[in-house]
Amino acid sequence: MPRSIYARIEDRGEEDRLTEVLVGTMQRCPALCRQLLRSLTDLDAEASIIESQAVHEQDRPDIDIVASAPDGTTVRVLVESKVGSSEGHRQLNRYAELLARLLSEDEEATGILVYLTANEDPKDEPSVLAGIRGRRPLFRQRRWADVAKTIDRCLPEIPETERALARELLAYLEDKRMTIPTHFSPQAMLGLSDLPGLLKLLDACMDGKPWNRLSEI
């Protein structure tokens, strides 16, 4: 049985805490795990092994998942999560190379590298997969907000036994501000279209005092 989710996050940085809570929830909630896996990879697969910080030679991706597709073939997923830090030197490229080596051991397997970030951090897929010999893995970019959106959407669909833990994970992501929308809403765009006018209105209502004070700082 996996360790307590809360025991996992002792003495960890925020990035590792989010990863450990996500992994612990996926281990305990197979229906939710399948939905999250589909959201992260665009493939329908059922996970059999989910590990965090698994060591592979010199590398240690945040999440390592072994899953089975409906046709019985293996799906190997490596997830690299970023919250406040940036990608390490050739980090994604090294993980892509690791996946390629794992794929060489199973000709029918599918490999997917997922880059999961809090903020927008677009990567060039050809650069990530550059220099790989043999079969190349797939590359996906996702945001933590996408994880939260998937949990919220599938709550009515998953078994009652999984909903309490799924809600806790969603609440945790909300507490950590990982649920901020990834796209501007029409309402936000409408507000931005008259931003100068809005600032003038605020200045008039506040008699200019906040802005004058800011200019003194």
86-119 pLDDT, tens digit each: 777 789 999 999 999 999 999 899 999 999 999 8
30-57 pLDDT, tens digit each: 999 999 999 999 999 999 999 998 888 7
Is residue 72 packed enough to be buried (19+ CB in 10 Å), middle (13-18) or exposed (0-12)? Answer: exposed
CA distance 198 to 200: 5
pTM for the model: 0.80
Two tokens, residue 200: 């003038």
74-92 pLDDT, tens digit each: 999 999 999 877 777 789 9
Two tokens, residue 207: 């008699």
For residues 131-156, average pLDDT: 94
* Strand order across the beta sheet in which 63-68 lies: 46-52, 63-68, 74-82, 110-117, 138-143
DSSP-H helix ranges across the chain: 5-8, 14-28, 30-41, 91-103, 125-128, 144-154, 160-175, 186-193, 195-205, 209-216
Residue 60 is predicted with a pLDDT of 86
pLDDT over threshold 60, residue 190: yes
